[in-house]
Amino acid sequence: MRLFATSFGRALLSQLHIRMLLLTVLPFALSILIWGVALWWGLQPMIDWLQDYFVGHNGFGVAGSILNWFNMGALKTVIVPLIAMWALLPLMILTALVFVGLWAVPAIARHVGSRHYPHLEQRHGGSWWGSIWTSLWCFAVFVFAWIITLPVAIFPPLAFVIHPVLWGWLTYRVMAYDTLADYATPAERRAILHEHRWPLLLVGAIAGTMGAAPTLLWLGGALSVIFFPILAAGAIWLYVLVFVFTGLWFQYYCLEALGKLRADHPAAPETQN
């Protein structure tokens, strides 16, 4: 737990560095560009399709009965756009995660490595393609779990439990790969993920809890529908900021763990990626 606490403190201090704050700009700008175009062309057709589906399958009656049971009947009038928003949210998370992994995490690795671990050998056991593949397969599992839990996630108490857990697993799996990509061999990465899986999962869960904060922007009922573009932009920026901080936290933890692993088990570098 000492490594867990010290890496958190060092990440928090590093997050305030101007270089780390600037790292949020490019992933945010690219995400806004992609989603600005996507929402302009696709949001209304998606809402229209959901509206027709609800009308044709008595969806409003079923939704109204469920919401009335929880004294939330007023949401019936905006249930279709709210479902559309919740369906798009995982895709926005993936966009921010991929861009942070491709552009921010390598910069974080250089920043942390050069300042605090200059003598730690870089063995380049990962690649940009491996980062994308890891993000995609983890995201596929994430989306499957998200869809299964979507009906209960519209209720705030359950959403604040389910959302951080899913976020935590996704963040743990993706960030652990990206932070060790330049420094660890595949064998070293597997050893660290096995030996430190519970602390790293806890880091991901805490990051998931912080990542639940943007969800508050999506729980405003009719107001969230009216101000959807603004709320979407704000949520994406918060996701990027949380991902950058999480990348710092994982970087400090994983590089410290890697240095200890090599000190305890010195071996020849592994060249296979």
Are the C-beta atoms of 126 and 180 separated by less than 8 Å?
yes
pLDDT tier at 129 (50, 70, 90 boundaries)?
confident
Among 177, 184, 239, CA closest to 213: 239
* pLDDT for position 273: 47
pLDDT at 82 over 80: no
167 sits in which H/E element: helix 156-180
Distance CA 5, CA 11 (A): 10
Q: Taking the chain, what is the end-to-end CA distance rounded to the nearest angstrom?
A: 31
Whether pTM > 0.85 for this model: the answer is no
The pLDDT tens digits of the residues spanning 168-202 come to 788 888 888 888 888 999 999 999 988 998 898 88
pLDDT at residue 254 is higher than 90: yes
pLDDT score at 258? 93
- Euclidean distance between CA atoms 211 and 164, whole angstroms: 7
Q: Are 207 and 167 in contact (CB under 8 A)?
A: yes
Per-residue confidence band for 73, with pLDDT thresholds at 50, 70 and 90: low
3 state SS of 37: helix
Cα–Cα distance, 90 to 238 (Å, whole number): 14
- What is the percent of the chain where pLDDT is above 70? 80
The pLDDT, as a whole number, for residue 250 is: 93
Q: What is the structure's pLDDT at 39?
A: 79
Residue 9's pLDDT band (boundaries 50, 70, 90)? Answer: very high
| DSSP calls for 18-54 | HHHHHTTHHHHHHHHHHHHHHHHHHHHHHHHHHHHHH
pLDDT, residue 167, reads: 76
How confident is the model at residue 222, as a pLDDT?
Answer: 47
Which residue type occupies 235?
A
The mean pLDDT of 53-73, rounded to a whole number, is 71
Looking at per-residue pLDDT, the higher value among 72 and 238 belongs to 238
- How many CA atoms lie less than 13 Å away from 158 in the CB half-sphere? 9
Per-residue confidence (pLDDT) for residue 271, from 0 to 100:
44
Q: What pLDDT shows up at residue 7?
A: 92
